[in-house]
A = this chain, B = another copy of it.
Amino acid sequence: MRDGTNTRKRLERCALSLFVKKGVAATTIKDIANKAGVAEGTLYRHYESKDELAQHLFSSAYEEVSLQLKNIAQTHPTFEEKIKAMVHFFCEKYDEDPILFNYLLLAQHNQLKIIHEKEVSAHEFLVVIFNEAFRKKELAKQDPQFCAAIVMGIVLQAAISRVYGRINRSMMEDVDALIKAILGALYS
């Protein structure tokens, strides 16, 4: 009996790169099937619809990253260590699978609503961490949402610069600079 795992993986990778290159709406089932070298109908054996595929790609990656971020935050005692570890983790992950990460970055503006409902956004984690830091007097009290925006903004824009080819280094090569910038912005 044929094993569909391979086809499924191929479909996901092909869809991913097309979604990143052209956007979900502009990518057709035909595009994906052609690229994956299967018939159009095959996609529907694995996913109920194009949207479900787009969703699945987003959610599964997003949830995994979110969970790991949470873990990392918990295993580090001080605020500064938490931030360092999280940025480090993010850079590592990005370099590991830039296409998947690019999808995560670009898709967030369309699919984040769903994630919002699940209340597991990275943004919210950061808010929790900031509130804890304020309580422990590790950082001068400010709007945690504002602080979270700074951290997210710096890291995400660094990644987006890679999407558009403005920076070609790996994220890990900039990890220290990123951490320094973030802490500089927060402690300024």
- Interface, chain A (partner B; CB < 8 A): 23, 25-26, 106, 109-110, 112, 116, 123, 142-143, 145-146, 148-150, 152-158, 160-161, 164, 166-167, 174, 177, 180-188
Tell whether, in the assembled complex, residue A180 and residue B188 are in contact, meaning their CB atoms are under 8 Å apart.
yes
| Interface majority SS (helix, strand, loop, mixed), chain A | helix
Residues of chain B lying within 8 A (CB to CB) of residue A174: 146
Tell whether, in the assembled complex, residue B143 and residue A150 are in contact, meaning their CB atoms are under 8 Å apart.
no
Min distance, Cβ A53 to any Cβ of chain B, angstroms: 16
A-B contact pairs, 22 of them (CB 8 A): A23-B109, A106-B109, A109-B109, A123-B166, A149-B157, A149-B160, A149-B166, A149-B167, A150-B157, A150-B185, A152-B157, A153-B153, A153-B154, A153-B155, A153-B156, A153-B157, A154-B185, A156-B157, A184-B185, A184-B187, A185-B188, A188-B188
Tell whether, in the assembled complex, residue A158 and residue B164 are in contact, meaning their CB atoms are under 8 Å apart.
no
Q: 5 closest A-B pairs (Cβ-Cβ)?
A: A184-B188, A153-B157, A25-B25, A153-B153, A185-B185
Residues of chain B lying within 8 A (CB to CB) of residue A153: 152-158
One of B25, B152, B164 near A23 (C-beta < 8 A): B25
Tell whether, in the assembled complex, residue B145 and residue A161 are in contact, meaning their CB atoms are under 8 Å apart.
yes
Kindly state the separation between the CA atoms of A111 and B166 in the bound complex, as whole angstroms.
Answer: 17
Min distance, Cβ A44 to any Cβ of chain B, angstroms: 12
Min distance, Cβ A41 to any Cβ of chain B, angstroms: 10
Residues of chain B lying within 8 A (CB to CB) of residue A160: 149
- Which residue in chain B gives the minimum CB-CB distance to A111? B23
